[in-house]
């Protein structure tokens, strides 16, 4: 996520991205505003429930620790995987699916769609979709583009593959070097409400090294916070409002 501001600024200022007129990048920022203007894209659902989602895995260095923590908490979540990561650790991708979690498509690889041609986006998503289906045996229903930045090609490819694009409305900003479990909980809890979709990362492959530990450490306190609020937690498939 850390490059988002740079790319949005570049897109606004012209230059090489000015020709990318198929872009709608602004929707990726401003979660609270998006929540009211585009509730479906923000993942707003059942107001007695929050959807828990993880991006960028599966990663042998970190995902197993998330599986253990989720098992302890009795939670199922949605894992937005990369085809490239799943292909490098297919046994782990299958383990996530076998534990009852939902597999969703983050991308074949992790690149800004607005910086790529429509054909590149279509090919990358189709490859990732096929990889995740072949490896895990689950057919993906959801897509969240890398960095949360959508293009027209993202949406057209989602339609063709039968995917629903979904972002989030509360995030832990766990990708930052300075993130801690308490900062992640604080960032999440400042935005979350009944119906929210929460964004965390189970890998640091696009983030500050070791940053996943801040997301992992936030899960237990998050469970206590959600219990206080009386909210159930689960994957996107159980989140329909
Ligand atoms: Zn990502």
pLDDT for position 3: 39
Q: For residue 18, what is the domain's CATH number?
A: 3.20.20.370
pLDDT score at 34: 77
- pLDDT given for residue 56 in this prediction: 98
pLDDT at 27: 53
**Rounded to an integer, what distance in angstroms lies between the CA atom of residue 182 and that of residue 161?**
38
Q: Please, are residues 85 and 59 in contact by the beta-carbon 8 Å criterion?
A: yes
The tokens for 9 are 């600024």
Q: Tally Cβ neighbours within 10 Å of residue 223.
A: 16
Q: Ligand 1 center to residue 65 CA distance, Å?
A: 19
User: Residue 241 above 80 pLDDT?
Assistant: no
Quote the ligand 1 centre to 56 CA distance (angstroms): 5
Q: Contact at 8 Å (CB) between 157 and 125?
A: yes
Q: What is the pLDDT of residue 7?
A: 35
Total number of domains constituting the chain: 1
CA of 147 to the centre of ligand 1 (A): 5
Q: How many residues does the chain have?
A: 241
Please tell me the distance from the alpha carbon of residue 146 to that of residue 168, in angstroms, as a whole number: 12
Return d(Cα 32, Cα 171) in angstroms, integer: 11
Q: Which residues of 174-195 are buried (b: 16+ CB within 10 A; e: fewer)?
A: bbbeebebebbbebbbebbebb
- Ligand 1 centroid distance, CA of 54 (Å): 9
Cα(220) to ligand 1 centroid in Å equals 23
- Percent of the chain surpassing pLDDT 90: 83
Q: How far is the CA of 206 from the centre of ligand 1 (A)?
A: 7
pLDDT at residue 14 in the model: 31
What is the distance in A from the centroid of ligand 1 to the CA of 41? 16
Asked if the model's pLDDT at residue 120 lies above 60, the reply is yes
| 203 CA from centroid of ligand 1 (Å) | 9
Domain that holds residue 194: 4-238
CA 57 to centroid of ligand 1, rounded, Å:
9
Please compute the mean of the pLDDT values over residues 194-216 and round it to a whole number: 97
**Both structure tokens of 11:** 């897109």
Query: pTM value?
Result: 0.88
For residue 33, the model assigns a pLDDT of 73
* Residue 55 β-bridge partners: 80, 201
Q: Report CA 238 to chain centroid distance, whole Å.
A: 16
Read off the pLDDT of residues 3-29 as tens digits, 9 standing for 90 and up: 343 333 333 333 333 333 333 444 555
Residue 37 pLDDT grade (very low, low, confident, very high; cuts 50, 70, 90):
confident
pLDDT per residue over 141-163, tens digit each? 999 999 999 999 999 999 999 99
């Amino acid at each position: 996520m850390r490059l988002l501001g740079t790319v949005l600024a570049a897109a606004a200022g012209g230059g090489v991205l000015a020709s990318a007129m198929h872009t709608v990048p602004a929707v990726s920022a401003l979660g609270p505003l998006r929540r009211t203007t585009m509730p479906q894209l923000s993942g707003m659902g059942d107001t007695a429930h929050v959807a828990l989602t993880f991006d960028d895995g599966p990663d042998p260095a970190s995902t197993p620790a998330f599986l253990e923590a989720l098992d302890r908490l009795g939670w199922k979540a949605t894992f937005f995987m990369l085809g490239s990561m799943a292909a490098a650790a297919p046994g782990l991708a299958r383990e996530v699916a076998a534990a009852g979690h939902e597999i969703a498509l983050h991308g074949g690889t992790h690149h800004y769609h607005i910086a790529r041609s429509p054909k590149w986006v279509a090919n990358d998503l189709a490859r990732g979709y096929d990889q995740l289906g072949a490896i895990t045996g689950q057919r993906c229903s959801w897509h969240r583009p890398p960095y949360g930045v959508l293009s027209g090609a993202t949406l057209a490819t989602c339609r063709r593959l039968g995917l629903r694009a979904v972002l989030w409305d509360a995030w832990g900003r766990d990708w930052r070097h300075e993130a801690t479990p308490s900062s992640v909980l604080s960032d999440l809890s400042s935005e979350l409400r009944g119906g929210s979709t929460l964004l965390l990362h189970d890998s640091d492959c696009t983030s500050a090294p070791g940053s996943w530990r801040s997301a992992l450490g936030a899960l237990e306190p998050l469970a206590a916070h959600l219990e206080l609020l009386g909210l159930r937690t689960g994957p996107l498939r159980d989140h329909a409002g």
